[in-house]
Amino acid sequence: MSAIDTLPPLRAVIASHGLSARKALGQNFLLDLNLTAKIARVAGDLAGSDVLEVGPGPGGLTRGLLAEGARRVVAVEKDARCLPALAEIAEAYPGRLEVIHGDALDLDWAAHLTPPIRIVANLPYNVGTELLVRWLTPPVWPPRWSTMTLMFQREVAERIVATPGSKAYGRLAILAQWRSTARIAMTLPPEAFTPPPKVRSAVVHLEALDAPRYPADPQVLSRIVAAAFNQRRKMLRAALKAQAPDIEDRLRAAGIDPTARAEEISLEAFCALARELA
Ligand code: SAM
């Protein structure tokens, strides 16, 4: 019996349901229920929140979220083999777990949850960044989620929280930090997972701000940041040449040295440039 509920230990669940990990689905499972409860606690006070979980797998994190008091958990899993194990969890927590069999990339998730909504997931690494970018760029802000607590490869986590001047600083840092606060809450060695991945992992916690830190049009900001970092070794006057015929003047008007490179430019300055180019 585990420390957090009366369901069988996860190794037994995996054995009884034949859940051998599949690499193509990014399956690296967390089997330590103390660890999954700890991740659930990073998400904050779950009692008054609905939680979206992507990729529950055998349900270790799901069990942590429910044991930590989540009002409701909606868990989206692509692998049908996991459904019977998840059904057992739903039975142990009546009315609090809805399992959706499908691809998180195709799901209109907000329709299944009531705010406040927290997203908590040990993400499959092959779709993690794509999902994060979608969650960070909804059609309207504030988004439907209030916090996100997400496991990534450590290198991706570092890109999310990176500051100017570092190698990891780029599009992901700007996207994440423009309209939310982002911090690395935990780092995990490969051995925390079954099977262990090749790389270290980290849990990033993001909280949505009510309004962007600095005004800017999302599309313009996204376009210039993509262009600037696509050629991050070039001076901005060259990397952004296609953005405006008088790009040097626009850069100067935004307080940016046209010979600077993207990785030296603060979020505030990128927003100023987006306003100049809007
Ligand atoms: N949450 C479990 C844990 O912590 O042990 C499993 C995490 S494992 C890293 C990722 C999970 O995401 C797997 O169960 C996998 O089947 C599922 N998955 C992969 N791609 C998916 C997708 N596009 N939509 C939904 N689930 C997906």
Domain CATH number, residue 269: 1.10.8.100
Structural domain includes residue 2: no
Structural domain harbouring 154? 10-208
Tell me whether strands 201-208 and 145-153 are parallel, antiparallel or unpaired.
antiparallel
For position 97, which CATH number holds?
3.40.50.150
Q: How many domains does the chain have?
A: 2
Query: Are 249 and 172 part of one and the same domain?
Result: no
Strand partners, 206: 148, 182
- As a whole number of Å, the end-to-end CA separation of the chain is 59
Ligand 1 atom nearest to 126, measured from its CA? 20
Task: Please check whether residues 39 and 145 belong to one and the same domain.
Answer: yes
Mutating to test ligand 1, I would choose from 17, 25, 149 the residue with most ligand atoms within 8 A of its C-beta, which is 25
HSE value, Cβ hemisphere, 13 Å, CA-based, for 43 = 36
Can you give the pLDDT at residue 1?
44
Whether residues 223 and 246 fall in one domain? yes
Q: pLDDT tens digits, the chain, 278 residues: what are they?
A: 456 789 999 999 999 999 999 999 999 999 999 999 999 999 999 999 999 999 999 999 999 999 999 999 999 999 999 999 999 999 999 999 999 999 999 999 999 999 999 999 999 988 999 999 999 999 999 999 999 999 999 999 999 999 999 999 999 999 999 999 999 999 999 999 999 999 999 999 999 999 999 999 999 999 999 999 999 999 999 999 999 999 999 999 999 999 999 999 999 999 999 999 99
55 lines ligand 1 (CB under 6 A): yes
Distance 56 CA to ligand 1 centre (A): 6
Spatial separation of the C-alpha atoms in residues 2 and 23, rounded to whole Å: 27
Nearby residues of 91 by Cβ (< 8 Å), 6 or more positions away: none
